[in-house]
Structure formats: C-alpha cells, structure tokens
Amino acid sequence: MKPELRVLVVEDEASTRQEMASLLADMPEVAEVHAADNGAAAVRLLGTTAIDAAFLDILMPGLNGMDVARVLSVLSEPPSIVFVTASETHAVEAFGIGAVDYLLKPIRPERLAEAVGRIAQLRRPAGAAPPAEDLHVVQIDTGRRTVFVKRDDVQFVEAQGDYVRLHTSDGTHLIRLSLSYLEEVWESAGFVRVHRGFLVAIPWVRDLRVTSSSGLVAGTPAGDVPVSRRHGRHLRAQLLEAARRDQLGRSANAQGAAVSRSRDGEHDQPHRQEP
C-alpha cells in the first residue's frame, strides 16, 4: 500500500502526543505526521500545511478540539476529523460536527489503525476498487467492550442516519459506516441493495413474500427486509442465480430460497415499504 495520508495530531499532553505520532508514522497508509501542542498552533500550521486527517484532543486550554474542528470544517477541502479524549460525554457533539471516529484514551493501537483505515477508505478516489480483504470482520468498540462481528454472520444491514445496524442471528450491532460503503466492499460476498435503506446477504434469504401491510419482503432468520419495487426484479434474478450455483441456504433451517407469495402477514412486521 502506498502511503498517502498527511495527518495532524493536536494534543497538549506531550507523552500522548508523541505516542500517537509514533503509532501513526508506522502505519502503511500514513505518509506524513505533523503535531501541535494546542489548538492555536494547529490553526497556524494549517495556514501553511495541507493535511488529510486531524486527530484532535477535545479538552485543551485556549482553542479546544471542538473549536479546531469548526475551523477545519470551513476549509475548501476539509480534512477528516477524529476526536481523541478520555470522556464519552462529547460523542454526540463530535459526530454532529462530522467526525469520522471518536477514540477514548488510553489509545489502543488497533483502534487507531481502524480509524486510519476508515479515513483511507473515505478519501479513496471515486471508482477505485477497495482491497478484497476489507471488513471480513467488523470491530465495534463501545468504549467499555469490543465486539467482533464476522461479515458472513451478517444477514442484512439497515441504514440509521450516519450509522448502519448489522443484523445477525445473535442480535444487532450499530457502527458508524455508510450503507453505500458497505454495499461496495461487501458486494463480492453476496450483499445486494434491496431498498434505499437496506442491504441483504443473498445466502441468508429464505424466501420472498408479498404481505398485505408492507409489500414485498425478503425473509431471513434475523427478520424480514423490505424490498422496493425498483429492486425486486434484480433481487429475484440474484436469488435464482445463487440457487443454480447452490449458494443459498446458509441458515441451518433453510433448504434453499423459495420464491413465494403470501398475503397472510403472519411473520414479523418488516419496515415500511419504500415508495
């Protein structure tokens, strides 16, 4: 991987600043690392140096991390922003500003690497193919614990604002990624768009049904997924092709995908049909 990212670390604690700068410099995506010990110094540096990403401490004397982020947001080509803090209390405000990630101190190298990888993906030129190994396992860090979700265990994906919710047989997991990004990197694993707010994993689809309340839905063990009219024909073709290749029936209870129609509405209520 060719190093491309120019990053800025803004942190008033010298030891933390040096540690982050050292970790970032060792990452294959990073070409340059700049550092500033306060918000005012960071703003001055931005006048002479172009950066792709800024890692900002929130609680600093003078201009704090939020102030610096607001300055960055009005640039003609704003960098990606990652907040680094010891508290969870500013997370809502941080994501409201448009932060890519929110890291809690003490910084774990794997979380820092995840944030850098996300930035690299977001800044990839349009049309560039993502690495084949992208997101085979999704790491979800809640601050108190880390959950690892295998891509092949995800049955469908639901967009929720700036986040997506991954639905598995064991429950759901919320992560800050875009539905369009997952559609791109998981296409090769059989994930297809079936609705403006949903992806479904073809191997997990048990059937298609038409319900009286929600129209066409794709049934999976984790629940029903709405299928819009514009995506219905394509999904049927995908299911037929998967059946021919014997790629259906990932569920132990599924004996293939039966494409059927039913109007009894006896299954769990899906989300409302897209017009």
Residues 71 and 46: beta-carbon distance below 8 Å: yes
Residue 24: which pLDDT band, with cuts at 50, 70 and 90? very high
Q: What is the mean pLDDT of the chain?
A: 82
Model confidence pLDDT, tens digit, residues 171-191: 999 887 778 878 888 988 899
Q: DSSP states of 158-182 as a string?
A: EEETTEEEEEETTEEEEES--HHHH
Whole-model pTM? 0.50
Note the helical H segments in the chain.
14-25, 39-46, 65-73, 91-97, 109-122, 179-185, 229-244
Judge whether residue 265 has pLDDT over 80.
no
**Cβ neighbours of residue 117 closer than 8 Å, sequence gap 6 or more:** 29
Q: How many CB atoms lie within 10 A of CB 70?
A: 11
* Best CA proximity match to 142, nearest among 166, 111, 167: 111
Q: In Å, how far are 192, 200, 234, 267, 271 from 217, measured between CA atoms? A: 14, 11, 14, 10, 9
Structural class in CATH, domain 5-122 = alpha beta
Which CATH code, of 2.40.50.1020, 3.90.1150.10, 3.20.20.80, 3.30.1330.10, is assigned to 137-259? 2.40.50.1020
Query: Which residue is associated with the tokens 């944030």?
Result: 115
- In the chain, where does the domain assigned CATH 3.40.50.2300 lie? 5-122
Judge whether residue 210 has pLDDT over 50.
yes
Judge whether residue 130 has pLDDT over 70.
no
> What does the pLDDT read at residue 179?
84
* Best CA proximity match to 66, nearest among 20, 41, 99: 99
